[in-house]
Structure 1
Amino acid sequence: MRKYVIAAMTLAACWASAGAATNLLNVSYDPTRELYQQINPLFEAAWKARTGQELDIKQSHGGSGAQARSVLDGNQADVVTLALANDIDQLADRGLVAANWQKRLPLNSTPYYSTIVFLVRHGNPKGIHDWSDVVKPGVGVITPNPKTGGAPRWTYLAAWGYASKTYGQAKARDFVRRLYKNVLVLDSGARGSATTFIQRGQGDVLLTWENEALLAVKQAPPGAYEIVYPSVSILAEPSVAWVDRNVAAHGTAAPAQAYLRFLCTPAAQEVIARNFYRPRNAAVLRKYGRQFHDIKLFTIDKNFGGWRRVQAAHFVDGGVYDQIVAENNR
């Protein structure tokens, strides 16, 4: 125990040496690069005005599941801003994050939300309008790997929920199997799949975050892509937490906690909305509401029994997703 305390004190001293800015590492999921590049300077300035302390916030991005595993393997994240509550639950199960992490911040530690939509090419040549269209033979689907990313797990569950509602629970598994039979490339995260679809020109439809689809339309030549909202999708709630074990070692608990609370302020909520994530602040949502399409959303808790149940049934090694992949590869 004494060795651990000495090591932690030494690491904290290196992390915030005298006269230097305090480093804060945000380990996040794929599409949030631009979001935090804009939020970080705002918080750094606010923190300096409040405390006089210089902060230097670093970012790390990748598939949400892969990012969670990197923290489990020793990535020195002060905060995690991941696509799934389940990814943070895994850190809590290993003692890196407090078990009650969701209750420590406003809005159940979900400062914004999103959903899953379809991005298609000009004119929508394959006539893709709903989930039933993406399982048709000859439709090339691009979506990331549910074993490594957050968006693909939301996508998988959105498809499962649609199939259960439309055809009945007994037929949902085969519907999802047919969807993944059409997947041409399984990238590790949402941004990689966007690159495959947009820059490499593969596939007829990209199943992705709403914010990624809106960003793609904004950045592309006019009319190059169209967003298709299916009849129903899922309420996707990315979650945030500070990593208790690491902030204790680094001496960064105060700025890490303040940083995550800052995400719920009107200033940060404006940045969130401008980056096409749906803000929690009602006034900001009204201001930017025109860019978000009304869509029926079901939830992970009500429709699937929560993330722990979903993880154990679908995404563990040998779970339903692995079984589907094995069947498609026969």
Structure 2
Amino acid sequence: MSACNQAASEQGAGSSSDVRLLNVSYDVSRDFYKDYNVLFAKDYKATHPDSKVKINQSHGGSSKQALSVANGLQADVVTLNQNTDMNLLVKKGLVSADWQQAFPDNAIPYTSTMVLLVRKGNPKQISDWSDLARAGVKVVMPNPKTSGTARYAFLGAYGFGLHAFKEDPHSEHAKTDDYMQKLLSNVVTYDNGSRAATTSFLQRELGDVLITTENEAHLVAGKYAKGQVELIYPSYSIQIKNPVAVVTAVTEKNGSTEAAKAYLDNLWQDDAQELMASMYLRPSNPKILAKHKDTLPDITTFEATGVFGSWETIMDTFFVDGGRFDTLAQSPAS
């Protein structure tokens, strides 16, 4: 990882200063960053042999995490899953307005998508988003009011409806709204975050299907509940972009800006990108992604902003109090 070399030249190789960083992140990223922190600490130590490296993590629903930082949680870096969460920190003066230009790929080191996780044998024969609106199918998902991942889940299902019914999101789309009312009426719990929803599905044994991210579904199917669940790829789903940024208002005060930047820079190094792929995140490096097609297959996805408009428009349309999510979730299914 070469990014640490820049920090070394500016801070002085062999600096005796200890490095302590707090990464405030969304909940289903914890497994990746737990292992990534080891990679970073090893590399940083190689260029700063007298330093001690300590990376602390905080995880939860992406929007709740961003709000915690806005309210004073002293994050050095934020690794979230939605641009609006980052924009909140820009408005608070905590993150630089040009954060997307600070790193490659508009500061998106990896992407993901929404998939469906079902019980072993798929007893309800669920194969696509449309099946989640059938009578008798019980759905588990996080709460779009607190979880960025849940917003992707809602928008993924909504975007599928528009695509399937060939309806324009900016005009009448009665068929899609009817389908979404039925789907949301099947939701048995709205948890605060994705990992909490996973717990409800696995440990509380709620629901027939869990709407979750691709990486979380793979980890559950291959590790936490091996042999108990099956992963279903929808025919058409949403792309999740996971932005990262240095919280400059904190790092400039703490003197940790260079280490924080190195921490995020290194996400684009090959070993970190390979780690992402091994943990079922889609690395931004296309060559590394192509090497993992057996576990990260080509899929048909859409971008939320390409269908629904800017994230500000999306939030104002769907997720404010009294917005379309509230209307559809509270309306009786026909």
User: TM-score normalised to the size of structure 2?
Assistant: 0.89
Residues in 2 aligned to 1:124 and 1:46: alpha-carbon distance in whole angstroms: 44
Contact 2:248 / 2:257 at 8 angstroms: preserved in 1?
A: yes
Residues in 2 aligned to 1:311 and 1:238: alpha-carbon distance in whole angstroms: 17
Q: Describe how 1:38-77 pairs up with structure 2 within 5 A.
A: 38-52=35-49, 53-77=51-75
CA apart distance, 1:323: 2.4
Contact 2:215 / 2:279 at 8 angstroms: preserved in 1?
A: yes
Residues in 2 aligned to 1:122 and 1:63: alpha-carbon distance in whole angstroms: 28
From 145, 148, 151, the equivalent of 1:150 is 148
Q: 1:127 to 1:58 in 2, by over 3 A?
A: same
Aligned residue identity for 2:294: R
Q: Identity, % of aligned pairs?
A: 42
From 2, 19, 23, the equivalent of 2:20 is 23
Aligned residue identity for 1:83: N
**2:222 alignment partner in structure 1:** 218
CA apart distance, 1:284: 1.8
Residues in 2 aligned to 1:280 and 1:173: alpha-carbon distance in whole angstroms: 34
**2:10 alignment partner in structure 1:** none
**1:276 alignment partner in structure 2:** 280
**2:250 alignment partner in structure 1:** 246
Q: Which runs of 4+ in 1 moved over 6 A?
A: none
Q: Describe how 1:1-330 pairs up with structure 2 within 5 A.
A: 21-52=18-49, 53-167=51-165, 168-169=167-168, 170-171=173-174, 172-220=176-224, 223-328=227-332
Contact 2:113 / 2:214 at 8 angstroms: preserved in 1?
A: yes
CA apart distance, 1:325: 3.2
CA apart distance, 1:150: 1.6
- Aligned-partner SS, 2:161: helix
Residues in 2 aligned to 1:264 and 1:237: alpha-carbon distance in whole angstroms: 15
Residues in 2 aligned to 1:199 and 1:305: alpha-carbon distance in whole angstroms: 37
Aligned residue identity for 1:323: T
Show CA shifts across 1:280-326 (max 9, x none). 12232122221013221011221122212111211122221122233
- Aligned-partner SS, 1:223: coil
Residues in 1 aligned to 2:95 and 2:327: alpha-carbon distance in whole angstroms: 31
Contact 2:282 / 2:289 at 8 angstroms: preserved in 1?
A: yes
- Aligned-partner SS, 2:234: coil
Residues in 1 aligned to 2:307 and 2:224: alpha-carbon distance in whole angstroms: 36
- Aligned-partner SS, 1:288: coil
Residues in 1 aligned to 2:30 and 2:281: alpha-carbon distance in whole angstroms: 13
**2:6 alignment partner in structure 1:** none
Residues in 1 aligned to 2:60 and 2:205: alpha-carbon distance in whole angstroms: 22
Aligned residue identity for 2:61: G
Aligned Cα root-mean-square deviation (Å):
1.7
Show CA shifts across 1:175-208 (max 9, x none). 2222111110111111111111112211000000
Residues in 2 aligned to 1:309 and 1:118: alpha-carbon distance in whole angstroms: 27
Residues in 2 aligned to 1:66 and 1:94: alpha-carbon distance in whole angstroms: 15
Structure 1's unaligned 5+ residue stretches are 1-17
Structure 2's unaligned 5+ residue stretches are 1-14
CA apart distance, 1:244: 1.4
Q: 1:308 to 1:218 in 2, by over 3 A?
A: same
Residues in 2 aligned to 1:92 and 1:313: alpha-carbon distance in whole angstroms: 22
- Aligned-partner SS, 1:295: coil
